[in-house]
Amino acid sequence: MSYNISLKLRPETHQRFKEIHSRLNAGEQNSLARPLGENLADMACEIIDQIFGEIVQLANSPNSESEKVIQQIIHTTRKYMPWSVSLFDNERLMPMVNYLHQMTYEQAGDAFVRYPVEKMLVMELLGCVDQMKNGNHQYVTPALKAFTQVIDQGVTHLIRQPKKMLKFNVVVDKTLNGVIHLTTQLGYKRFDKLSHIYDADTMSYYFEHLLAFLEDEMPQRIH
């Protein structure tokens, strides 16, 4: 059995992406780098908000430190995503856009982007969450560690792999690798701190929110 994480996209965001995908594959001559970069930044920020945004609402009270981290990640994404894409012409962008297009699907009128997750990692995470529901606080840390790995697999499929397909020069590639490392570590360190702030009951509520993104089979793509 395979597992996937599916994250919702706003209808207008997905529609813009589909239009850009169609125009690229139709051989449009006008540069689509700028609208594509802005669209990809929108997609990324919508995903970030779904994964990290719930932290701010955890325990029914805003967590100002978490909110600052999320805003920093979003600011960095909106700065570097359009800039990196703007360096290429339509022909160079097409393989990457086609790859991401395969990661999206529509179901019951909603749009999603999905990525596969290793089965063993999911089983480990689900086991930890079951223990947390029983009040076993010692499982909070391993659960957060497993979930961080789930998120990092998403970063690989949705960020690192598309970046690799664009074949940046050495200087730009090094810059972007540094940006990706910085932003992911900001989020992951925030996850790690949660184990010292909240108990098993509170964290199990948070994981219930996150596990709603998990699917145990590949949904059918509808466009």
3-class state of residue 183 by DSSP = helix
Q: How far apart are CA 191 and CA 185, in angstroms?
A: 10
Q: How far apart are CA 202 and CA 183, in angstroms?
A: 25
Tokens 């169609």 belong to 22
Answer yes or no: are the C-beta atoms of 195 and 140 closer than 8 Å.
yes
Backbone φ and ψ of 181, nearest 5°: -65, -45
Helices (H), the chain: 11-25, 33-57, 64-85, 90-101, 119-133, 140-155, 161-166, 170-197, 200-211
* 30: CB partners within 8 A, 6+ apart: none
Q: How far apart are CA 200 and CA 167, in angstroms?
A: 44
Q: What is the pTM of this model?
A: 0.88
Question: Per-residue confidence of the chain (223 residues) as pLDDT tens digits?
Answer: 679 999 999 999 999 999 999 999 999 999 999 999 999 999 999 998 888 776 666 544 555 777 788 889 999 999 999 999 999 999 999 999 999 999 999 999 899 999 999 999 999 999 998 998 888 889 988 998 998 999 999 999 999 999 999 999 999 999 999 999 999 998 888 877 777 777 787 788 778 777 888 887 554 444 4
Can you give the pLDDT at residue 216? 75
Can you give the pLDDT at residue 59? 43
Q: How far apart are CA 180 and CA 78, in angstroms?
A: 13
Burial of residue 171 (number of CB atoms within 10 Å: 0-12, 13-18, 19+): exposed
Tokens 């996209």 belong to 9
* 176: CB partners within 8 A, 6+ apart: 80, 84, 163, 168
Can you give the pLDDT at residue 184? 92
Q: What angle do CA 75, 64, 82 make, to 5 degrees?
A: 10
Can you give the pLDDT at residue 55? 66
